[in-house]
Structure 1
Amino acid sequence: MSPPPRLRLLGPFRLELGAETVELCRNGQRLLAFMGLRQRACRTVLAGTLWPEVTEEHARGSLRTALWKLPRTEPPLIGCCGDSLRVAPALCVDVHTLTRTALGVVQGRGIVAHAPPPLELLHGEDLLPGWDEDWVLLERERLRQLRLHALDALAEALIRQGRPALAMEAAWASVRAEPLRESAHRAVVSAHLAEGNLSEALRHYHAFCRLLNEELSVEPSPQFTRLLTEQLPRRRS
């Protein structure tokens, strides 16, 4: 049995049918990317979104042409249901896999003690880099924020489970994605503290203080400061 078709939107666009990567024209890529993200859309909305600068009649004509040029598969990659279009249920879209994984982590599911954590969150690529259409930019930012929240939640869960080294990997992935995000730096400090490395925790905290002051002229939140001050008397005693 041949594998199901796969649509990869994280990183460069790629459509895989069986063992082959299929080349599509630009409009075919845009059509399949939009439908892969939305799963279902009416023709008017789809045509107006992908071809906003032409008349509705012209946009619908461009949509028909793009649909006709898609690879012939059974069932079709995009099926018609009246005035609506729908993606084939068998089409695997990497964005939805990432979304399910990230939401599971944020909701506290999928992080089982002593089981491998979902480390695929650590190395996620941006959605369709280089594409600058509004519908891509909005979805790219949504996915970026979801991944950051999932990395923060993953780091916290791994610290609670006594796996600070893996927690550090998740925390640093979040820092690399957004260097001014305080919650990511708190996770790094918490992982250092969980390992008993108070000097490393203090060093990272002060480095973040300098970064915030240089970039935004602000101080860390009281919550971050308490994370360390609560440890200092305990260590001194």
Structure 2
Amino acid sequence: MDVRIGLLDGFTLVTDPMRPAGRDVVPRAVQRLVAHVCLTGRPGRAAVAGLLWGDVPEDQAQASLRSALWRLRRVAPGLLDTTGGALAVGRGVGVDVHDLAAWALRTRDPRTDLDDLDLPPADLLGDLLPGWHDDWVLVERERLRQLRLYALETLAARLAAAGRPGDAVAAAHVAVRGEPLRESAYRLLVRVYLAEGDVTAAVHAYRQFRTRLRDELGIDPTDRLTRLVAHLGEGQRVAS
């Protein structure tokens, strides 16, 4: 079955590459069911019903689950494995969050050859289900953001150590775009620029980060970052 579920940058269900089914085609209750199963692995039916329809009696929640599964079979039969007392993603169904997790695991594994690593594709850079405010979505959204950022920083550091500064800068910039107030990404970016002797770019990156921090949080970068540029030709003006 050639089906793909997208949860990053919004819910999508692709059963035909030419006709992705989005929010207008898949009922919201079905979207929530599919998303929850994708994010939790193989949850039990009772647990799914209790979480997604926790504001109604148990028998009504179970009926709502059966209804959602029936509607899902009409849209994409076989998308979920419903055998037994648990639910799971069907065999051969692709899920973008699973691909992101696999990329991050491979990237952070020191045994992975650097030639086998690259930046994640653009469709893995979005936030999880933007606009959804369920607690279980909020927790997973932040976990996936952190997973991606740590992997990007690891990739940038490995590329810099391998003498590939251009690729290292590209990875660091993706991390910075993902979280503009994350100092560790900017610190890595400044280090790569300095290692290549590009003082101007290093100072610019530092100042850009400092401005963002001051404008949005009213604080300055830590001494750990400031010390990287404070000794440069502009002296104290850089850190002031």
Q: Where on the TM-score scale, by shorter chain, does this alignment land: which range?
A: 0.7 to 0.9
Is the 1:111–1:157 Cα contact (8 Å) retained in structure 2? no
Match for residue 4 of structure 1?
2
Match for residue 42 of structure 2?
40
Matches within 5 A, 1:138-217: 138-217=139-218
Is the 1:105–1:111 Cα contact (8 Å) retained in structure 2? no
Aligned: 1:21 with 2:23: no
Among residues 93, 96, 108, which one is paired with 2:95 in the alignment?
Answer: 93
Distance 2:224 2:15 in 1: 50
1:28 Cα offset (Å):
1.2
Unaligned runs of 5+ in 2: 234-240
How many pairs does the alignment contain? 229
1:158 Cα offset (Å):
1.5
Is the 2:26–2:75 Cα contact (8 Å) retained in structure 1? no
Identity between Structure 1 and Structure 2 (%): 42
Match for residue 235 of structure 1?
none
1:6 Cα offset (Å):
1.0
User: Residues 49 and 110 from structure 1, CA distance in 2 versus in 1: closer, same or farther, beyond 3 angstroms?
Assistant: same
Distance 2:68 2:108 in 1: 38
Distance 2:230 2:123 in 1: 30
1:43-92 deviation digits (Å, cap 9, x = unpaired): 11101111121111111100000111113599822223432222212211
User: Residues 41 and 144 from structure 1, CA distance in 2 versus in 1: closer, same or farther, beyond 3 angstroms?
Assistant: same
1:230 Cα offset (Å):
7.6
User: Residues 70 and 210 from structure 1, CA distance in 2 versus in 1: closer, same or farther, beyond 3 angstroms?
Assistant: closer
User: Residues 163 and 48 from structure 1, CA distance in 2 versus in 1: closer, same or farther, beyond 3 angstroms?
Assistant: same
Match for residue 58 of structure 2?
56
1:168-216 deviation digits (Å, cap 9, x = unpaired): 2221222222221111111221221132111321232244334434444
User: Residues 122 and 188 from structure 1, CA distance in 2 versus in 1: closer, same or farther, beyond 3 angstroms?
Assistant: farther
Is the 2:103–2:120 Cα contact (8 Å) retained in structure 1? no
1:219 Cα offset (Å):
4.0
1:7 Cα offset (Å):
0.8
User: Residues 180 and 74 from structure 1, CA distance in 2 versus in 1: closer, same or farther, beyond 3 angstroms?
Assistant: closer
Distance 1:172 1:180 in 2: 12
Matches within 5 A, 1:129-144: 129-144=130-145
What is the TM-score of this pair, normalised by structure 2? 0.83
Match for residue 108 of structure 1?
110
Is the 1:122–1:173 Cα contact (8 Å) retained in structure 2? no
User: Residues 63 and 209 from structure 1, CA distance in 2 versus in 1: closer, same or farther, beyond 3 angstroms?
Assistant: same
SS of match in other structure, 1:84: coil
SS of match in other structure, 2:13: strand
- AA at the equivalent of 1:205: Y
- AA at the equivalent of 2:102: R
Please provide the CA RMSD for this pair. 2.7
